[in-house]
Structure 1
Amino acid sequence: MSEFSYLSTPRITPYNYRTIIEVFKDTATSYPDKEILIHRGIDGTRESLTYRQLQTKATKLARYLVSKGVSKGDKVALLGPNTLEWVIAELAIIMAGGVVVHVTLSISDVKDLWEIFSITECKAFLIDPGKGEKYLEMISQLISILRRSNSSRDDKNVNSKDPTLVFLRRNELLISYENLPGVLKMKEAAVEFPPLNPEDEIIIFNTSRSTGKPKLVPHTHSILNNVEREAGRPKDMLQSGKMYNDRPFAWGAGSPIIAVCKGETIVFCDSSIAIADDGRNAMKIWEVIKEEKCTSALLIPYFLLDLVAQKDYYQDSFKLEVIMTVGQPIEDSHTQVIGVFTKALLVGYGLTETLLITTLPPIVTSGKLDSRDVGKPIPSTEVKVVDEDGNVLKKGDTGELCIRSSSLFNGYYKNKELNDEVFLPGKWFRAGDTGHINDQNHIVLEGRIKDVISRGTRKTMPYRIEKVIMQMNGIRHVAVIGVPDKRLYEEICVCYVTEPGHDISPADVEQFCKENFTGFESLDGLGEMPTYFLRFFNFSMSDNGKIKKKVLRTDAILRLRKQCLM
């Protein structure tokens, strides 16, 4: 056995060199009347799409996009909550030869969104305005910027080079723009679709780095079409069962495109429901899972704890075959769902850039668990541990994890500097996480190299919050840190120092944040709204003038505990 910190798992299934659209059409032909998407509300509402319906609607929207000038390789922004229309739009963009730019909404200012749109030079925008007026302010800001940047805009001119704007549902306040219901009633445009290649980019995911600047992560047909199924998930479960997954569709873990193309029915609710009301919706969501007779579910760790809190009151015999969970370390308490809500628990570790990397063997009994153990690489994946210079360490030594796999992206979009930083020779990707390989040949995570807060699996960049709070008059220093939280793993704590002569209370800072950040009303119910606010008279600083965040975090935790806030 090698003494080096290196693990690999060979590929199980043959490589499928086809496009996502080819796979989708084959599956739709085999199961035309199968419900592939089911959108549920905890109030009992239910909407669904069969393969035939999805294919018909996506094809018509795709022809409309082509008629409006969307060409192969053009970037098309897609944003909004989880809906059936969102999936129709994503499939249509790919059919038209476009590249879907996934966008999530975190703060109320649209400037961050526009930065992404500008970098990718989006040719069109497909937006779900949601129900009521929830996102109208953001949409209004976006339209205003579009008009300023495209003064000669003409949506009705087929040959116009200005961006196309389509809303995915009808809203009385947006009637001057095209919407999906209206497009579906139009006569289908007589246009040809461009030829697609398995190595064409089709989706760009958006994630953030510690500087607050967006990292744009492209994935191709071949990458998404060759994601190996998780160990412990029976192959026949994919086409015979239903999976519950309410993660935002714009996230890697929530993206429905792989499941849709391979025949696995997805059941979903609005992503914000699970986090709302301190977990009191858990059993309402579970009732949806039970009513739909789901066989598996992707459930976030905090939701598992919400279920555990109800286990003594749950008397039903219904159980899932397997619950999968990702995003943050799993403790012993999470395993208490086994035997009550599920037959097995599958723990995974992955990144937007790599998709799934490792899984633990299915856990079938509750009990002791190494919370940092994330198991072995999934098929077609290699992992090694390196030092700061990129040299492979000896087994058991701690260093940075590096990944190489068939699901690894080819590099950040238009960011050569960052690509040079994260890729080692041989196309090894530096994951940014530290860990080691233990005696069982499992990966054990030990921390994050960069200062990122993980709240309910949402990765929050302190810099994004700090730069907003620094706009508040009278703030001298601000540092945003993560503090422990039993349910969400970490919570966001704002620590600040005021300028002399300014008396700014924690309540004042909290109110300022409420005016600038979204929380429960965001797509995933979390957003970037901080939870705790602490005023300091000064910060401990390093010789080069930087805030000593480790010291600050320790002080903040002590103060919060003394105040009985955690």
Structure 2
Amino acid sequence: MAAVSNLSYLHTPSVRPYTYTTVIQIALENARFRPNQELVIFRELDGSRYSLTNASWYQQAEHLARYLVTRGVKRGDTVGLVGPNSIETAIGSLAILLAGAVVWNVTINMKTAQGVKAQIQLLQAKFMLVDCGKDSHFLPPVKALLENVTGQTDSANGDTNFQAIFLRKADFKKSVTLEHIQSLQLDQVELPDIYPEHKALLLSTSGSTGKSKMVCHSHFSLMNCPPSNNPGMAELPK
């Protein structure tokens, strides 16, 4: 067992070997060998319960990824993801990775929508997956965001190069939903090969020294994050 280091966790030597794999590969293995294992569980205040299994997560995400490819998403592109923690956003995040793109979690409660617009231009993002939540709870701020970005109130499509795809039915004209996408025949669409070195996730810095900066993480770095300082979390069951 490695000795406890007095240094910052960034300088603490790893106590386990690095894993040369991707988020996609782990998700696929879980779908194959633990298909019925619940991956995500949501409980509402009224006691209702919703869950997503490994197999369902991967299958729905793979189908959505094929749709993204047909819309022009390419390996290395940045795709925004907007919405609460939900089954829909979980599917969306894996779909972006399967399409070879980079997940950018968009914060819709920024001081101004102009901040998001500037980041979209900086990242050259052309697509955004949107979940307005149960009963379209987050529709007003999403509408305001898309109106500022695209110049349109009721549609994120049109003459603009930026496109929004809705993961749940919302009161938007011409909106494409995850339910509709799942009904399409897309089995012949090929997905790109993804390796651990490829980009996977964009995270924003705190902005304490000025404007927030975007930091990109690869599949390899995500799969080899330092273990928790909590002794009880140091070794997770395989």
Q: TM-score if structure 2 supplies the norm length?
A: 0.85
The separation in 1 between residues aligned to 2:42 and 2:203, in whole angstroms, is 23
Which amino acid in the other structure matches residue 105 of structure 1? I
1:179-258 alignment runs, 5 A limit: 179-188=177-186, 190-210=188-208, 213-230=211-228, 231-233=230-232, 238=237
Partner of 2:78: 75
Deviation at residue 213 of structure 1 after TM alignment: 1.9
Deviation at residue 236 of structure 1 after TM alignment: 7.1
Partner of 1:407: none
Partner of 1:34: 37
SS of the residue aligned with 1:214?
Answer: coil
Q: 1:106 aligns with which of 97, 106, 109?
A: 109
SS of the residue aligned with 1:208?
Answer: coil
The separation in 2 between residues aligned to 1:113 and 1:20, in whole angstroms, is 27
Q: Deviations over 1:143-173 (max 9, x none)?
A: 3234349xxx966xxxx992331111112x1
Kept in 2, the 8 Å contact 1:68–1:164? The answer is no
Task: Say if 1:109 and 1:132 are closer, same or farther in 2 by CA, change over 3 A.
Answer: farther
Kept in 2, the 8 Å contact 1:170–1:179? The answer is yes
SS of the residue aligned with 1:233?
Answer: helix
Deviation at residue 101 of structure 1 after TM alignment: 0.7
The separation in 2 between residues aligned to 1:107 and 1:14, in whole angstroms, is 39
Kept in 1, the 8 Å contact 2:62–2:98? The answer is yes
Deviation at residue 234 of structure 1 after TM alignment: 5.5
Which amino acid in the other structure matches residue 195 of structure 1? D
The separation in 2 between residues aligned to 1:18 and 1:143, in whole angstroms, is 36
Matched residue count: 227
SS of the residue aligned with 1:97?
Answer: coil
1:6-155 alignment runs, 5 A limit: 8-107=11-110, 109-148=112-151
**Runs of 5+ consecutive residues of structure 2 not aligned to the other structure:** 1-5
Indicate whether 1:167 and 2:166 are aligned. yes
Q: Deviations over 1:24-64 (max 9, x none)?
A: 21222120111111011232111001111001100000000
The separation in 2 between residues aligned to 1:94 and 1:129, in whole angstroms, is 21
Partner of 1:283: none
**Could you say which structure has the higher helix fraction?**
2
Deviation at residue 18 of structure 1 after TM alignment: 1.4
**Runs of 5+ consecutive residues of structure 1 not aligned to the other structure:** 240-566
1:394-409 alignment runs, 5 A limit: none
Kept in 2, the 8 Å contact 1:64–1:189? The answer is no
Deviation at residue 235 of structure 1 after TM alignment: 6.9
SS of the residue aligned with 2:203?
Answer: strand
Task: Say if 1:236 and 1:11 are closer, same or farther in 2 by CA, change over 3 A.
Answer: closer
Kept in 1, the 8 Å contact 2:74–2:100? The answer is yes
Larger Rg: 1
1:80-479 alignment runs, 5 A limit: 80-107=83-110, 109-148=112-151, 162-171=161-170, 173-188=171-186, 190-210=188-208, 213-230=211-228, 231-233=230-232, 238=237
SS of the residue aligned with 1:222?
Answer: helix
SS of the residue aligned with 2:232?
Answer: coil
The separation in 1 between residues aligned to 2:86 and 2:217, in whole angstroms, is 22
Task: Say if 1:112 and 1:161 are closer, same or farther in 2 by CA, change over 3 A.
Answer: closer
**Could you say which structure has the higher strand fraction?**
1
The separation in 2 between residues aligned to 1:131 and 1:24, in whole angstroms, is 26
The separation in 2 between residues aligned to 1:184 and 1:130, in whole angstroms, is 19
Task: Say if 1:175 and 1:187 are closer, same or farther in 2 by CA, change over 3 A.
Answer: farther
Kept in 2, the 8 Å contact 1:75–1:101? The answer is yes
Q: TM-score if structure 1 supplies the norm length?
A: 0.37
Kept in 1, the 8 Å contact 2:157–2:174? The answer is no
Deviation at residue 76 of structure 1 after TM alignment: 0.2
Deviation at residue 229 of structure 1 after TM alignment: 2.9
The separation in 1 between residues aligned to 2:111 and 2:208, in whole angstroms, is 20
